[in-house]
């Protein structure tokens, strides 16, 4: 009853505002004094790209096999971000992604605005270059369109030139193409729907900039610029290429590196200007289990039309990442906001922070907003499933801070022996706090799976009899991604399970947190009703 009253009050408040804003209790980059701290997104938004249209900034990032895919984030100051949409609900080819395709799918997208239309391009390393478009980033996007079929074409970015012609730059995945550390440019039809020219190799990074990838295409003062990271995700640096001809030859400079900072990488991102003409660069830093978190850097241009990203603190002509800075100029006062992480499940659609590990199937879940819960159904496990790494119906969200606590309240109604549900911290290793129905009754189990990516079995570290009813499951994440699990039967007094689990990243993504429900038996009517997930510092 208390929760429903709170929901009605919140709904009334929303009616009095244009849009309710969410502020995480775990991480907020806005210092409140005209400055910000990095990362501006302490969550896994790998390979970010950004544009400004008027007073609005739009960002997207790699979603790999997770759906809904290509989350769209909005900001008016590059610091306060919220998730407002996703480009698609299902990956294509649909049948291929009905099972988890870890690390496949959407690689390093770009977002652009041209003549009233927003475009998102990405490379699928196994299928080719795709594009979706929309007249409104918050609205409906077109179905994925295959611009060019092929293997190994990744990290794509278009450029519409001043004369009406269009081009596309991309990198190559050595695992599929047998070629990497090079960048190619091809002409594209002006409508952006197909490549019409031969691939021209415009840069080979093998000698000084190995593993060059993630190119972003721009034009400024008569120069074509390609921004790209090199040297690898964790130890690498940022380079900029420029030429008066779209096909080169390109000059090259290193414009940002780790230097004397603790920011490893720093890896790929996008260049954007603010409303007063100041320049900025959003990029990611790989934080292992925490994923590829997003930093915002100031950017300056010299009289010779070369840029420096960050601040050159030691005078070597190369920028270094900043820990914080003044906020970008804005004509629109931005409320403090962050992507949502807590959820009371009081709306008819899942919160935009949630993603499945594969294309959702029939009757995986339902929402009951009038009563405020999410129901997950215990779907029968597919033959040959080794552990949760192989399970498609995992409903997960990104880790959102270095240290925080996530608490879920739920009630489990099994349909028969072998039904199970629980809270999971998921990656190449994972841990679960789950309710399991056995032949002799229900138990609360604490399980850890090391090397889940290789098909290892779960190890049960604790098993406690449970009589049913409401239960609160909690995970407390500490520095170094150490996770402590606990539970409560009254929501007040929590009992910690023995030991700490060290979270591990997934395939090209950070560890994630969320829920699952499945059945090892023949029953199909088992279910769990999740009242809420609350995140706190």
> Quick one: average pLDDT of 189-204?
97
> Quick one: average pLDDT of 247-265?
97
pLDDT at 164: 96
Whole-angstrom Cα distance, residue 178 to residue 403? Answer: 41
DSSP string covering 39-76, please? -SB-S---S-EEEEETTEEEEE---BT-BSEEEEEEES
Cβ pair 399, 509 in contact under 8 A: no
**Strands 512-519, 379-380: parallel, antiparallel or unpaired by DSSP?**
parallel
Buried/exposed 221-260: b ≥16 CB within 10 Å, e otherwise: eebbbbbbbbbebeebbbbbbbbeebbbebebebbbbbbe
Please name the residue that has the structure tokens 């790998």.
46
pLDDT at 128: 98
Whole-angstrom Cα distance, residue 379 to residue 372? Answer: 22
Tell me the backbone φ, ψ of residue 479, rounded to 5 degrees. Answer: -55, 145
Residues of the chain above pLDDT 70, percent? 96
pLDDT tens column, 44-56:
999 999 999 999 9
DSSP string covering 230-290, please? ES-TTT-EEEEEEESSTT-PPEEEEEE--TTSS------EEEEE-TTS-EEEEEEEE-GGG
pLDDT at 523: 64
User: Which H, E and C letters describe 455-520, residue by residue?
Assistant: CCCCEEEEEEEECCCEEEEEEEEEHHHEEEEEEECCCCCCEECCCCEECCCCCCCCCEEEEEEEEC
Cβ pair 58, 85 in contact under 8 A: no
User: Which H, E and C letters describe 294-352, residue by residue?
Assistant: EEEEEEEECCCCCEEECECCCCCCCEECCCEEECCCCCCCCCCCCCCCCECCCCCCCCC
pLDDT tens column, 307-365:
999 999 999 999 999 999 999 999 998 899 999 999 999 999 999 999 999 999 988 99
pLDDT grade for 20, boundaries at 50, 70 and 90: low
Given a cut of 60, whether residue 11 has pLDDT beyond it is no
pLDDT tens column, 111-166:
999 999 999 999 999 999 999 999 999 999 999 999 999 999 999 999 999 999 99
Domain ranges of the chain: 31-326, 355-536
Looking at the annotation, which residues are catalytic?
47, 213
pLDDT tens column, 479-499:
999 999 999 999 999 999 999
**Of 145, 162, 121, 68, the residue nearest 270 (C-alpha):** 121
Q: Which CATH architecture has domain 355-536?
A: Sandwich (2.60)
pLDDT at 72: 98
pLDDT grade for 262, boundaries at 50, 70 and 90: very high
Given a cut of 90, whether residue 25 has pLDDT beyond it is yes
What would the two tokens of residue 172 be?
């190559």
What would the two tokens of residue 471 be?
């239960």
Given a cut of 70, whether residue 3 has pLDDT beyond it is no
Angle at 514 between CA 508 and CA 517, to 5 degrees: 115
pLDDT at 505: 98
Q: Which range, of 76-80, 361-365, 405-409, averages the lowest pLDDT? A: 361-365
> Quick one: average pLDDT of 25-53?
97
> Quick one: average pLDDT of 192-207?
96
Eight-state DSSP code of residue 530: E
Q: pTM for the whole thing?
A: 0.95
Cβ pair 404, 511 in contact under 8 A: no
Given a cut of 50, whether residue 414 has pLDDT beyond it is yes
pLDDT at 9: 37
What would the two tokens of residue 497 be?
């399970």
Q: Which CATH architecture has domain 31-326?
A: 5 Propeller (2.115)
Instruction: Kindly list the distances between the CA atom of residue 63 and the CA atoms of 275, 320, 423, 439, 509, in Å, as whole numbers in the listed order.
Output: 29, 27, 22, 40, 8
Given a cut of 50, whether residue 33 has pLDDT beyond it is yes
Cβ pair 172, 219 in contact under 8 A: no
Name the β-bridge partners of 51: 58
Whole-angstrom Cα distance, residue 457 to residue 435? Answer: 18
Whole-angstrom Cα distance, residue 129 to residue 111? Answer: 14
Please name the residue that has the structure tokens 């050159």.
312
More confident residue, 220 or 525: 220
> Quick one: average pLDDT of 409-423?
96
Mean pLDDT of the chain: 95
218 contact partners, CB below 8 Å, separation of at least 6? 159, 224, 225, 226, 227, 271
DSSP string covering 103-143, please? T-SBEEEEEEEETTEEEEEEEETTTEEEEEEES-TTSPPPP
Cβ pair 476, 486 in contact under 8 A: yes
What would the two tokens of residue 439 be?
């032949």
> Quick one: average pLDDT of 193-222?
97
């Amino acid at each position: 009853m208390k929760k429903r009253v709170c929901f009605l009050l919140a709904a009334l408040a929303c009616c009095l505002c244009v849009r309710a804003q969410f502020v995480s209790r775990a991480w907020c980059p806005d210092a409140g004094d005209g400055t910000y701290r990095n990362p501006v997104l302490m969550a896994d938004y790998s390979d970010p790209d950004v544009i400004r249209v008027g007073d609005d900034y739009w960002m997207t990032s790699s979603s790999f096999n997770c759906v809904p895919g290509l989350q769209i984030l909005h900001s008016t100051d590059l610091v306060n971000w919220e998730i407002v949409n996703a480009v698609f609900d299902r990956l294509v080819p649909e049948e291929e992604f009905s099972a988890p395709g870890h690390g496949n799918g959407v690689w390093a997208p770009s977002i652009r605005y041209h003549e009233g239309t927003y475009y998102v391009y990405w490379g699928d390393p196994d299928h080719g270059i795709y594009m979706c478009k929309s007249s409104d980033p918050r609205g409906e996007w077109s179905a994925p369109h295959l611009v060019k079929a092929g293997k190994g074409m990744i990290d794509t970015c278009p450029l519409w030139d001043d004369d009406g012609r269009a081009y596309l730059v991309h990198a190559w995945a050595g695992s599929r193409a047998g070629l990497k550390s090079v960048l190619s440019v091809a002409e594209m039809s002006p409508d952006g729907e197909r490549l019409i020219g031969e691939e021209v190799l415009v840069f080979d990074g093998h000698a000084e900039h190995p593993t060059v990838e993630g190119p972003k295409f721009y034009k400024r003062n008569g120069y074509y610029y390609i921004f790209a990271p090199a040297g690898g995700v964790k130890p690498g640096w940022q380079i900029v290429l420029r030429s008066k001809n779209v096909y080169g030859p390109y000059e090259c400079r290193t414009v940002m590196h780790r230097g004397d900072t603790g920011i490893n990488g720093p890896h790929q991102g996008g260049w954007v200007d603010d409303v007063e003409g100041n320049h900025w660069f959003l990029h990611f830093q790989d934080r292992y289990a925490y994923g590829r978190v997003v930093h915002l850097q100031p950017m300056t241009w010299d009289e010779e039309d070369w840029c420096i990203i960050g601040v050159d603190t030691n005078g070597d002509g190369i920028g270094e990442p900043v820990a914080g800075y003044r906020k970008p100029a804005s004509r629109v006062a931005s409320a403090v906001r962050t992507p949502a992480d807590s959820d009371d499940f009081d709306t008819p659609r899942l919160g935009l922070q949630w993603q499945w590990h594969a294309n959702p199937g029939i009757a995986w879940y339902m929402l009951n907003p009038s009563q405020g819960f999410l129901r997950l159904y215990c779907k029968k496990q597919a033959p040959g499933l080794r552990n949760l790494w192989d399970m498609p119906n995992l409903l997960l969200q990104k880790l959102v801070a270095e240290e925080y606590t996530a608490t879920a309240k739920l009630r489990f109604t099994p349909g028969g022996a072998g039904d199970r549900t629980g809270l999971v911290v998921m990656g190449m290793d994972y841990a679960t706090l789950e309710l399991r129905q056995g032949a002799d009754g229900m138990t609360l189990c604490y399980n850890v799976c090391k090397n889940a990516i290789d098909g290892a079995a779960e190890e049960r570290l604790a098993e406690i009899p449970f009589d049913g009813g409401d239960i609160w499951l909690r995970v407390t994440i500490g520095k170094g991604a150490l996770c402590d699990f606990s539970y409560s039967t009254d929501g007040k007094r929590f009992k910690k399970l023995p030991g700490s689990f060290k979270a591990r990243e997934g395939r090209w993504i950070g560890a994630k947190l969320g829920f699952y429900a499945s059945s090892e038996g023949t029953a199909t009517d088992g279910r769990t009703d999740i009242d809420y997930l609350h995140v706190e510092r």
